[in-house]
């Protein structure tokens, strides 16, 4: 049965919610469904193949966020929104059935009073067991949730093009961070890089980052942290910064051979999944949502300890009970060195597990799982 489907959420800028929403729309559309879109954060980086599906632009223009402004219809067979819980009632009001909400709070204590918003949904869809457990501990009933992971878009399988990098260094270590948030552990990431390599090593960091001034307590400046690292490690291995929007991010992954993250907390960590399906040796914290698909058979995991999350790691409101992971800087540096020294051995070792991940973590599979929950 073909369904009429709405997606109202961030869709138009460099943001993980936008990436997920765009791919969900794309694969519902490919399955023959009538997809209507409303982007609440503009259309700066909106993909051309989904322009014909835009139903409402008023929610971007209206600064007062009036609830009666949206041009979406009111008879959808399925509604889906990847957004904060406080918006679930507003964004899932365009029909009376199959109201599904996706959100992943990158922390352990969600803002007080938010759990009750699950009542505006027919099903909450956390994207990892870590996220599922966070919701459950904060008051969302387990029988109101189904864990459905994210996926990787077809561009990672259908394209062969590579992004041109102006370097002849053999080992290209990709860091992909769209949002410069403190919990991304940018300081630790750069510190470990300085410890691991010097300019005599045949490596380069390719930093796909968003260069902007911090505007929120939970934001940090890449440039500021980079300058601090350069003063501390005067002979560090080079770092190449890419700040431009790339219509096909997979081209950049294919140009590199190692993926690198050491966040304090991630409810999924899509860049690591994308790195892995490209066959890159991938490094990440041994904590959070990425543990669903990362293990010793397919990646290098960083040791550390769980501790209290500082105020500037948390969003909206902070809690003294918030927890996060603190990666060990020395072990992070060791894993970086190991990825280079044992690259060929690790790539061969990880290949079988990564092939299984390619088959499992696709947006096509995600869409099929969501459709399986629909009552139509």
- The pLDDT value recorded for residue 16 is 84
Provide the whole-model pTM.
0.94
374 contacts: CB under 8 Å, gap ≥ 6: 3, 77, 78, 98
Q: What percent of the chain has pLDDT over 70?
A: 98
Strand spans (E) along 178-298: 203-209, 239-242, 258-260, 281-285
Assigned token pair, 37: 């879109």
**Same structural domain, 233 and 272:** yes
Query: Which long-range contacts link 58-61 to residues 24+ away (Cβ below 8 Å)?
Result: 59/8, 60/12
Contact 306, 323 (CB under 8 A): yes
Please tell me whether residues 19 and 105 are part of one structural domain.
Answer: yes
Could you tell me if 167 and 32 lie in one domain? no
**pLDDT-derived band at 44, boundaries 50, 70, 90:** confident
282 and 352 share one domain: yes
CB atoms within 10 A of CB 40: 21
Greatest Cα pair distance, the chain, in angstroms, is: 63
Same-domain status, 120 and 95? yes
Q: Do 222 and 331 belong to one domain?
A: yes
Sheet-wide strand order for 54-56 = 54-56, 34-39, 4-9, 78-82, 99-102, 123-124
- Whether residues 141 and 170 share a domain: the answer is no
Residue partners of 21: CB distance under 8 A and separation at least 6? 7, 9, 10, 11, 82
Residues 25 and 97 in one domain: yes
Do both 112 and 69 map to the same domain? yes
Q: At 12, which CATH number?
A: 3.40.50.2000
In 3D, which of 357, 367, 370 has the Cα closest to residue 157? 357
Contact 335, 302 (CB under 8 A): yes
Share of the chain above pLDDT 90, in %: 85
CA distance 42 to 50: 14
Distance between first and last Cα of the chain: 8
Per-residue tokens: 284:
């990440």
- Residue 261's H or E segment, with its range, is none
Indicate whether 217 pLDDT > 80: yes
Together in a domain, 86 and 175:
no
Contact by Cβ (8 Å): 85, 110: yes
The closest of 361, 206, 235 to 298, measured between CA atoms, is: 361
pLDDT in tens, 22-38: 999 999 999 999 999 99
User: Do 54 and 193 sit in the same domain of this protein?
Assistant: no
The count of other CB atoms within 10 Å of the CB of residue 343 is: 16
> Could you report the per-residue pLDDT of 302-341, keeping only the tens digit for each?
999 999 999 998 988 889 999 999 999 999 999 999 999 9
Q: Give pLDDT tens digits for 160-184.
A: 999 999 999 999 999 999 889 999 9
Query: What's the full length of the chain, in residues?
Result: 376
Residues of the domain holding 82? 4-151+362-373
Cβ atoms within 10 A of the Cβ of 235, count? 10
Query: How far, in Å, CA of 67 to CA of 179, rounded?
Result: 28
Under 8 Å CB-to-CB from 348, ≥6 apart: which residues?
none
pLDDT at position 68 is 73
Reported as a pLDDT band with limits 50, 70 and 90, residue 212 is confident
Same domain, 123 and 197: no
Q: Which of 151-160, 254-263, 288-297 is the least confident region?
A: 151-160
* Number of folded domains that form the chain: 2
């Amino acid at each position: 049965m073909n369904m009429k489907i709405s997606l109202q959420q961030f869709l138009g800028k460099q943001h993980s919610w936008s990436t997920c929403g765009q791919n969900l729309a794309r694969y519902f559309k490919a399955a023959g469904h009538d997809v209507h879109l409303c982007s609440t954060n503009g259309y700066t980086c909106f993909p051309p193949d989904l322009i014909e599906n835009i139903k409402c632009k008023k929610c971007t223009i209206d600064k007062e966020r009036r609830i009666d402004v949206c041009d979406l219809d009111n008879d959808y067979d399925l509604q889906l929104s990847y957004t904060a819980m406080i918006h679930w009632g507003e964004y899932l009001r365009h029909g009376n059935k199959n109201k599904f909400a996706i959100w992943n709070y990158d922390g352990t204590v969600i803002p007080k009073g938010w759990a009750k918003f699950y009542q505006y949904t027919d099903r909450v869809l956390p994207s990892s067991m870590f996220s599922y457990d966070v919701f459950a501990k904060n008051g969302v009933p387990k029988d109101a949730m189904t864990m459905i992971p994210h996926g990787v878009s077809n561009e990672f399988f259908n394209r062969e093009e590579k992004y041109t990098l102006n370097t002849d260094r053999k080992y290209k270590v990709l860091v992909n961070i769209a949002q410069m948030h403190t919990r991304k552990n940018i300081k630790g990431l750069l510190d470990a890089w300085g410890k691991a390599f010097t300019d005599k090593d045949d490596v380069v960091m390719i930093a796909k980052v968003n260069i902007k001034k911090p505007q929120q307590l939970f934001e940090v400046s890449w440039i500021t942290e980079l300058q601090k690292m350069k003063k501390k490690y005067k002979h560090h291995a080079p770092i190449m910064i890419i700040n431009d929007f790339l219509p096909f991010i997979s081209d950049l992954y294919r140009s590199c051979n190692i993926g690198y993250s050491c966040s304090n907390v991630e409810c999924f960590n899509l860049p690591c999944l994308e790195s892995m399906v490209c066959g890159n040796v991938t490094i990440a914290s041994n904590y959070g949502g990425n543990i669903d698909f990362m293990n010793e058979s397919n990646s290098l995991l960083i040791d550390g300890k769980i501790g209290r999350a500082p105020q500037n790691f948390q969003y909206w409101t902070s809690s003294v009970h918030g927890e996060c992971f603190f990666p060990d800087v020395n072990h992070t540096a060791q894993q970086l060195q190991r990825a280079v020294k044992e690259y060929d051995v690790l790539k061969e070792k990880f290949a079988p597990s990564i092939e299984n991940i390619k088959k499992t973590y696709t947006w096509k599979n995600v869409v099929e799982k969501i459709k399986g929950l629909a009552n139509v």
